[in-house]
Amino acid sequence: MQKRVLLVEDEPEIRHLVETHLGDVGCDVTAVGTCRHGEALVASDTWDLLILDLMLPDGDGLDICRLVRQSESYLPVMMLTARSAEDDRVLGLDTGADDYLAKPFSVLELKARVRAILRRSDAYANAASEAESRPAEQLAHEGLLIDINRRAVELDDIPIQLTAKEFDLLLHFARHPGRVFSRAELLDQVWGYSHEGYEHTVNSHINRLRAKIEKQPTEPRFVKTVWGVGYRFFDPRIDDSPAHARAVS
C-alpha cells in the first residue's frame, strides 16, 4: 500500500528530488512550500510521514512539528535543514521529530531513513492493534500506574499527560526496574538511534518526564540519576531495603 507523505519545503529542487525518489520506494508525496499550507494539510488530511524543512518563507518547520505533537495520533516527522549544527539537531529531536537529515543529503540516505521511519511506525501500529485485542496490561509502581494498551499514566489516581516519547521512555524504565541505562543505550532502545551526538535529548526528555511524574523532581522517586553512568528506575529491592535506608539516613 502506498504511504502518504507530506513534504513542506520551499526549495523547488529539493521538492523535486524528494518527490521523485520517494515515489521509487512506494510513497505518494504531496509537496507544499509554506508553513501555512503545511499546517492546513496536516489538520485536514491523514498522512503516514511528514517531512519538514526547518526554514520556510513564512515561518519555522519546528512550529508545524510542535503542532503535530500536540495531537493524539502519532505522525512520524523527519526534519530537513541546511544547517547541520548540533543545536539544530537537538532542537529538532526535542520538539518531537523522529529523525533529522542535514542538507545536502544523498538520495540513498533519504530513502534509507524514510524506509526506517515507516518500518518503525508500521511495527508500532501492528503492536497497537494487537494490544487492543488483548486484556489490559498494567504496570504499577508505588502510586504510579502505567496502562500499556491505553498508553495512559496515572499518579495517585490522577491522569498524567505524557507525549509519545515520554511514555515510551517511562515504559522502558518501568519494565526494567533497577537496571541502569546509559544515555546512549536509551537513545538506541527508545529512540532507535544508534549514532552519537543526541545524548542531550535524553536529558531534556527525562527532565520533562520528572516534572510530570515526580512530586519532587529534584529528589526523584521513580527515575533516578546514576552519576557518571546514566539513569535507572525505582526498584523496591534496592530503594526500600534497610541497607539503603541506613545509607541515606
* Nearer Cβ to Ca ion (12/159): 12
Residue 95 Cβ, how far from Ca ion at the closest point, in Å? 17
Q: Is-cis flag, bond preceding 104, omega within 30?
A: yes
Please tell me whether residue 217 adopts helix, strand or coil conformation.
coil
Q: Is 55 in the site for Ca ion (CB under 5 A)?
A: yes
Question: How many of the chain's residues bind Ca ion (CB under 5 A)?
Answer: 3
Q: Is 60 in the site for Ca ion (CB under 5 A)?
A: no
- Pattern 6-25, binding to Ca ion, x per CB under 5 A? ----x---------------
Q: Is 98 in the site for Ca ion (CB under 5 A)?
A: no
163 CB-contact burial (10 Å; exposed 0-12 / middle 13-18 / buried 19+): middle
Cα–Cα distances in angstroms (integers) from residue 208 to residues 71, 167, 188, 205, in the given order: 18, 11, 19, 5
Residue 39 Cβ, how far from Ca ion at the closest point, in Å? 16
DSSP 83: -
Residue 55 Cβ, how far from Ca ion at the closest point, in Å? 4
* Nearer Cβ to Ca ion (53/239): 53
Residue 61 Cβ, how far from Ca ion at the closest point, in Å? 8
**CA 212 distance to own-chain centroid:** 17
Which part of the chain contacts Ca ion (CB under 5 A), choosing from 49-57, 113-121, 192-200, 221-229? 49-57
The vertex-187 CA angle with 74 and 86, nearest 5°, equals 95
* Nearer Cβ to Ca ion (35/206): 35
DSSP 230: E
Neighbours of 29 (CB within 10 A): 19
Which residues in 131-160 contact Ca ion (CB under 5 A)? Answer: none
Residue 159 Cβ, how far from Ca ion at the closest point, in Å? 39
Which part of the chain contacts Ca ion (CB under 5 A), choosing from 53-61, 104-112, 121-129, 206-214? 53-61
Residue 143 Cβ, how far from Ca ion at the closest point, in Å? 47
C-alpha cell belonging to residue 217: 523532581
Residue 55 in contact with residue 12, Cβ under 8 Å? no
Q: Is 53 in the site for Ca ion (CB under 5 A)?
A: yes
* Nearer Cβ to Ca ion (72/87): 87
Beta bridge partners of 81: 102
Q: Is-cis flag, bond preceding 236, omega within 30?
A: no
Please name the residues in contact with 214: beta carbons below 8 A apart, sequence gap of 6 or more: 220, 221, 222, 223
Residue 56 Cβ, how far from Ca ion at the closest point, in Å? 6
- Kindly list the residues in this chain that would bind Ca ion in the complex (CB under 5 A): 10, 53, 55
